[in-house]
C-alpha cells in the first residue's frame, strides 16, 4: 500500500496523559514474537493480587477448578459474589484481555467487582491458555468450557441462568464474541448479552483503522500482528481461520445475543468493531455501538477520570440496566 497515506484520527487531548502512561507501563517492550514471554512476565507484575484489588469491599472471592475442554486441563475460575450471597442474580462472565498472549484472570477484575456490587451480580473471571504455547482453539475452548460450567451451576451460585452475559475487553472482547458464536452453534448456554469492549476480532489486520495506527498508539498494528500470528500460526490470513478465533470471519451473525460494542475512534479496532455491528444489524440482530471520539485502545480504563471515559462508563451501565432488566434511576 505504498503511496497511500492514512492520517490517524487525533486523540482527545484529555486522554493523552493516560495514553502515555499506558505506553510506558504496559508497552515498554515492543511486543514481537521473541518478546512475548518477556512481556508476559512484565505484565504479570502490573496486575495486582486479587486480595489487594478487593480491599474491604463486601464481596466473597472463591477460586475453583472446573472441567476444561475434552482432553484438556481443568480451567481456573475466580468467582466474585456480594458478601452474604444472592439468589436469582445476574451473572457476568468475564474474559480478560492481553492480545491472546498476555494477562491473567485478575487483569481488569476491579471493574468486575464494581459491577458485582452495583448489580448484585455474580461475576466469574476465567483463566484461559495463552498463545503461542497454546494456539487456537485452546483459549476460546477454555473460555467456553468455563461458561458451560457457570451456566450449569448457575442456581447453586445464586444466578438466574436466563441473565448470564459474557464480557471482555480487547482479546477478551474477541473471545467473548467467539464464545457467543460457539454457544449459538453448539446449542450451549443462552446468553442474555455480549459486551464487547474494543474487541479484537479480525486476524486480517487490513482495515483503514489498522493502518492509521501502525507504529502509533496503544496496541498498534504491529502488536496486533504479533498476537494473531501467535494465536493462528500459518493459518492466519487464510480461509481456514475459525470464526471462533476471529469472529469477523463468521459468515452468519444471526441468532446471537444482544451485543454491546464500544471502541475508540482513534484505535486500530474501530473499523472491525463497527463492521461487526453493521453485520449483526443486517441480520435483524440487536447491537448497540458506541465509538468514542479520540479514544485510544483501552482509554476508559487508563484515563478513567476523563470526560469521555466517564461518558463511556455511564453508557455501559445504561446498557447493563436494560439487558439485565434492572429498574433505571431517572
Residues that bind another protein (CB under 8 A): 6-10, 12, 14, 208-209, 212, 258, 260, 265, 270-271, 274, 277-278, 281-294, 307-308, 310-311, 314-315, 318-319, 321-322, 328, 330
Query: Taking the C-alpha atoms of 140, 302, 211 and 3 in order, what is their torsion angle to the nearest 10 degrees?
Result: -160
d(CA 56, CA 8) in angstroms, rounded, equals 43
Query: 325 to each of 109, 124, 328, how far by Cα in Å?
Result: 23, 20, 9
* Closest CB 300 distance from another protein, rounded Å: 12
Residues 6+ apart with CB under 8 A from 241: 203, 232, 235, 249
Instruction: State the Cα–Cα distance between residues 101 and 88, nearest whole angstrom.
Output: 35
Which one, of 46, 143, 37, lies nearest residue 96 by Cα?
143
Closest approach of another protein to the CB of residue 221, in Å = 15
Nearer CB in complex with another protein: 158/285: 285
- CA 74 to centroid of chain Cα atoms: 21
List the grid coordinates of 82.
456480594
Smallest distance from another protein to CB 239, Å: 25
Q: Which of 143, 134, 144 is nearest to 101 (CA)?
A: 134
Is the CB of 153 or the CB of 315 nearer to another protein? 315
**Closest approach of Cβ 302 to another protein, in Å?**
18
Tell me which DSSP letter residue 245 carries.
T
Question: How would you classify the pairing of strands 89-95 and 122-126?
Answer: parallel
| C-beta of 104 vs 303, nearer to another protein | 303
Between 139 and 173, CB nearer to another protein = 173
CB nearer to another protein: give 58 or 255. 255
Round to whole Å and give the CA distance between 105 and 119.
Answer: 21
CB-nearer residue toward another protein: 78 or 303 = 303
Amino acid at each position: 500500500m505504498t503511496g497511500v497515506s492514512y492520517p490517524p484520527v487525533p486523540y482527545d487531548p484529555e486522554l493523552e496523559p493516560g495514553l502515555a502512561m499506558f505506553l510506558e507501563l504496559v508497552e515498554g517492550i515492543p511486543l514481537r514474537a521473541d518478546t512475548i514471554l518477556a512481556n508476559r512476565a512484565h505484565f504479570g507484575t502490573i496486575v495486582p493480587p486479587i486480595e489487594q484489588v478487593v480491599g474491604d469491599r463486601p464481596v466473597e472471592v472463591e477460586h475453583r477448578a472446573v472441567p476444561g475442554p475434552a482432553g484438556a486441563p481443568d480451567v481456573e475460575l475466580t468467582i466474585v459474589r456480594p458478601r452474604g450471597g444472592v439468589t436469582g442474580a445476574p451473572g457476568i462472565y468475564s474474559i480478560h484481555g492481553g492480545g491472546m498472549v498476555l494477562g491473567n484472570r485478575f487483569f481488569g477484575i476491579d471493574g468486575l467487582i464494581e459491577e458485582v456490587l452495583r448489580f448484585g451480580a455474580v461475576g466469574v473471571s476465567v483463566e484461559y491458555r495463552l498463545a503461542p504455547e497454546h494456539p487456537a482453539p485452546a483459549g476460546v475452548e477454555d473460555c467456553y468450557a468455563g461458561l458451560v460450567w457457570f451456566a450449569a451451576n448457575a442456581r447453586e451460585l445464586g444466578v438466574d441462568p436466563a441473565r448470564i452475559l459474557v464480557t471482555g475487553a480487547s482479546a477478551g472482547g474477541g473471545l467473548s464474541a467467539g464464545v457467543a458464536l460457539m454457544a449459538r452453534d453448539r446449542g450451549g448456554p443462552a446468553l442474555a448479552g455480549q459486551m464487547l469492549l474494543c474487541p479484537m476480532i479480525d486476524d486480517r489486520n487490513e482495515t483503514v483503522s489498522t493502518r492509521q495506527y501502525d507504529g502509533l498508539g496503544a496496541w498498534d498494528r504491529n502488536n496486533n500482528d504479533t498476537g494473531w500470528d501467535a494465536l493462528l500460526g500459518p493459518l492466519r490470513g487464510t480461509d481456514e481461520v475459525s470464526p471462533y478465533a476471529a469472529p469477523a470471519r463468521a459468515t452468519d451473525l444471526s441468532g446471537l445475543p444482544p451485543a454491546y460494542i464500544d471502541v475508540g475512534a482513534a484505535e486500530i479496532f474501530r473499523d472491525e468493531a463497527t463492521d461487526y455491528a453493521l453485520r449483526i444489524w443486517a441480520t435483524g440482530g440487536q447491537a448497540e455501538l458506541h465509538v468514542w471520539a479520540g479514544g485510544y485502545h483501552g482509554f476508559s480504563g487508563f484515563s478513567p477520570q476523563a470526560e469521555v471515559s466517564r461518558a463511556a462508563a455511564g453508557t455501559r451501565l445504561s446498557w447493563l440496566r436494560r439487558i439485565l432488566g434492572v429498574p433505571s434511576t431517572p
